Amino acid sequence: MLEGYALHPNQFGYAVYGDRGVANRLDELTGKRAEGVLAIVADDARKSELFRMGKEYVTAQYDRIRALGNKRSRFYTGTLKHIENIEFISYHALCLYNSDFGLKNRKRVVTGFEGLPINLKKLFFDLGLKGLMNHPLAGDPVDSPRIVVKAFDAVYQREKSARSLFDSNCKPYIKFIDRSIAVVR
């Protein structure tokens, strides 16, 4: 989509989510008509799909942000509008924090969570994941570290073909207690 309009990701994100009309904004930026984009933007499900960026792209964004320092850079506009992007970023960031999180061995991954600080919110803030904690997932309050851990778990299950880290039928497993994690054996 971006290539068709020769736009930077932030320009496209602002055009889609900004306060001015999408067609007018894209016309200004590119000189091209935006009827196809207007049809997509009118449909919330399709609009979200505009920002499905893929694992490599969003993890590269995260790496760029970390290299520049959290205060000086942030994700492109629209990156956090698609849940799959949030999942990939969460997984990537936690695997960088603790290499055991990237293993297929579920027991080692679960027990790796024991080593996390009690204040997960501060840890995730320090890891540059504050924006991810503001994405509401079903049943979770906004600004919750649960969002990051659940997003991590979704990728872990897909990539490792493993059971959820929260699956109480497979011990050990993790569970939330307030805003921290406990490992149940």
Q: Which residues of 14-39 are buried (b: 16+ CB within 10 A; e: fewer)?
A: bbbeeeeebeebbeebbeeebeebee
Domain range list for the chain: 2-49, 55-184
> Tens digits of per-residue pLDDT, 127-174?
999 888 887 766 777 888 999 999 999 999 999 999 999 999 999 999
Question: What pTM was computed for the model?
Answer: 0.83
Q: Which two tokens stand for residue 26?
A: 């894209």
Looking from the CA of 84 toward its CB, the CA atoms found within 13 Å total: 12
Q: Is the peptide bond before 9 cis (omega within 30 degrees of 0)?
A: no
Alpha helices in 31-140 (DSSP H): 35-41, 44-49, 55-68, 83-97, 106-112, 120-126, 130-133
